[in-house]
Amino acid sequence: MNPSRYCLFIFLYFTSSLLYGQTLNFKHISFKEGLVQSPISNFLQDDVGFIWFGNFKGLTRYDGYEFKTFNTNPNNSSSISNNRVNAIFQDSDRQIWVCTANGLDLYDRKLEAFTRIDIREIKGGRNYISSIVEDHQKNIWVGTFGGLKRLNKQTLKLEDISSDSKNLMFRYSPVFSLFLDHQNNLWAGTKEGLMKFDPVKQKIVPLPKVFLERPDFSENKILVIKQDSDNSLWFGTEISGVFQFSMNKQALKNYAFKEAGNSIASNWVKDILFRERNE
């Protein structure tokens, strides 16, 4: 990766952004312009340019002039299902999905309201939705605390993955993060560690050897997974900062907080965004 080509924004649990390294440029985002005073857990820029922020006090949308916050309302079934927003996603059909601590919601642009997806059938009643992605076949995959699920777009219900014996651990293990790479592989940070999944065959794929040789990586909870234009995968963790996996070199590099010198501000990394410098 050539760092000079990018601006990298990393959102943390306790800070809105941070200084990452000597060769990378960073822009700090504060709450002075009207953001809700709550840790930012995720963000999205949609197809019309709106910026969406998820936090622990609801969902906030910024149109370039004003902030609008959407909160849960027990008396309104068209409100978001919970104020703790874990992920925001826009699919190829321009639909915006919101993952919360109590469900999955589909945003209605015209009504500025939400449809709550029926998730009562998740094993153990685990309604916590952590993540969501869309594969190259336009299937929607959802990470829950009851395992990996696929969304049935016709019924708007979540379905279990294949019951293949190799999938059992993935089928029920809590999922903290999901990412679909350029080759249509699904990567997931789970309670059992990092997993790689083929969404077409619905089978677990063996991890590259380098991951198995790094105990400092395997002991981490993976909170976010992203891929840059050079095909490197970036893993934001709960206690060890950021790991960069170079597919070309099959190498894994760690960037962690250090008291001296320029480094990331915290080892808790919740989200990562790459942006072209000239954008």
**Residue 66 confidence (pLDDT) above 50:** yes
> CA–CA distance from 164 to each of 160, 167, 171 (Å)?
11, 5, 9
The pLDDT score that the predictor gives to residue 81 is 94
Give pLDDT tens digits for 194-204: 999 999 998 89
* Tokens encoding 126: 């685990």
Residue 211 is which amino acid? F
> CA–CA distance from 64 to each of 45, 68, 107, 257, 272 (Å)?
11, 11, 20, 33, 21
> CA–CA distance from 179 to each of 87, 233, 257 (Å)?
12, 10, 24
**Residue 237 confidence (pLDDT) above 60:** yes
**Residue 238 confidence (pLDDT) above 80:** yes
* Tokens encoding 162: 């294949």
The pLDDT score that the predictor gives to residue 124 is 55
Give pLDDT tens digits for 34-65: 666 667 778 899 999 999 999 899 999 988 88
Asked if residues 105 and 115 have their Cβ atoms less than 8 Å apart, the reply is yes
